[in-house]
Structure 1
Amino acid sequence: MAKRDVPEINAGSMADIAFLLLIFFLVTTTMDVDTGISRKLPEKQPPDAPEPPKLKEKNVFVVTVNRNNDILVEGETFMTIDQIREEAIKFIDNGGGLGNPIDGAEPAECDWCEGAKDPASSDHPNKAVISLESDRGTSYGTYISVQNELVGAYTDLRDRLSEKMYGVSYTQMLKDQSNSPNNETLKERINIIKGKYPQIISEAEPTK
């Protein structure tokens, strides 16, 4: 008795369909990419670089975040995250003395500062240093929130001064610069504002 041939299923079209579906999902699927935090690292100093000037204690604003996410300011006052920005502004904008000489010029008072001019606080925005210290047990979210508030203090001061000098905020000038990168007048104004309130934040190695 002759054998009957078993009919085979043509799977060629199914392979084509699977391939097309694979391409579709590869094209339409979005993948999350962690970009991290944008931070400008200090330049490497040459071997013959002079010793950095010693800082007066009153010119350093110390913010410490412990492993319990408690925030201690100046080693004595516990604060919440929403209080840090205002305290940092008071410190940076104090203007209680003379600034560092720039390009050989004589040290000058901060005539644009609107602070209390407390002799026990910072002398000048270009001398005011914010030191951020943390513990290895500090949560990532708390640390970033504190960073944002400290950076926000500089942004608020720059916005205020820019509005006063040019009638437009520093934040808006940065946006305008992204649209007009070759605008030299805009660049000069941005650099002037940044020079009036230089962002000086020191981030110490986390403690164990």
Structure 2
Amino acid sequence: MGYLQKDQVAVNAGSMADIAFLLLIFFLVTTTIVNDKGILMKLPIKNNESVELNQRNVFAILVNSKDEILAKNELIKFDQLKDRTKKFIDNNGANAHLSDSPLKAVVSIRTDRGTTYDTYLKVLDELKLSYNELRAASLGLRLAEYENLDIKNPEEKELLDQARELYPMQISDAEPLESK
């Protein structure tokens, strides 16, 4: 028996590289890359000098590995944090255990290695909200009105700058504690 020899069909692959290149360009042009957003904070200028602070002017917050909040070594509930922070910052020397003035008040956050990231962000948001409420009140505005001020408008930018001068946001993020 003889085998019949069929003609071999060859595929012309000359334009395959061109097609692959066009597909690659198509996907690069049409694909959008999502940018992750981080915590928007202005970082301080690197300074090797240590600053001596009066402990009266430091509002020390510790978030432990159980996500419990200690403010000035007192265990507090999360919903008390904003009011305690505002009271500390806006003391103006009235209470000897609280800050001398908003200009000298420093809020220090310290976390344990077991602290969840979610809790840390919630605490940071509450602290920012405290400052924003104080700033809004200093301008005689509601919080929503303050947050809607436009930095591009020169008059509103001046108001924002004025509020930031009265209540500078001084938040210190200390190194995490070692778990024991």
- Give the structure 2 partner of residue 26 of structure 1: 28
Residue 137 of structure 1 and its aligned partner are, at CA, apart by 1.9
Residue 41 of structure 1 and its aligned partner are, at CA, apart by 2.4
Using the alignment, how far apart are the partners of 1:163 and 1:172 within structure 2?
Answer: 14
Residue 3 of structure 1 and its aligned partner are, at CA, apart by 6.2
- Give the structure 2 partner of residue 194 of structure 1: 164
The amino acid of 1:141's aligned partner reads: D
Residue 12 of structure 1 and its aligned partner are, at CA, apart by 4.7
Residue 75 of structure 1 and its aligned partner are, at CA, apart by 0.6
- Give the structure 2 partner of residue 75 of structure 1: 73
Using the alignment, how far apart are the partners of 1:152 and 1:71 within structure 2?
Answer: 17
Percent identical residues: 44
Point out where structure 2 has 5 or more consecutive residues left out of the alignment: none
Q: Check whether the contact 2:68–2:75 (CA below 8 A) recurs between aligned residues.
A: no
TM-score (norm 2): 0.79
Residue 198 of structure 1 and its aligned partner are, at CA, apart by 1.1
- Give the structure 1 partner of residue 39 of structure 2: 37
TM-score (norm 1): 0.70
Give the match's secondary structure for 1:41.
coil
The answer as to 2:172 corresponding to 1:172 is: no
Residue 89 of structure 1 and its aligned partner are, at CA, apart by 1.3
Using the alignment, how far apart are the partners of 1:125 and 1:59 within structure 2?
Answer: 9
Aligned residues: 174
- Give the structure 1 partner of residue 110 of structure 2: 133
What is the RMSD computed on CA atoms of the aligned residues? 2.9
1:115-158 deviation digits (Å, cap 9, x = unpaired): xx434322211122211111122111211211111111101111
Give the match's secondary structure for 1:130.
strand
Point out where structure 1 has 5 or more consecutive residues left out of the alignment: 98-116
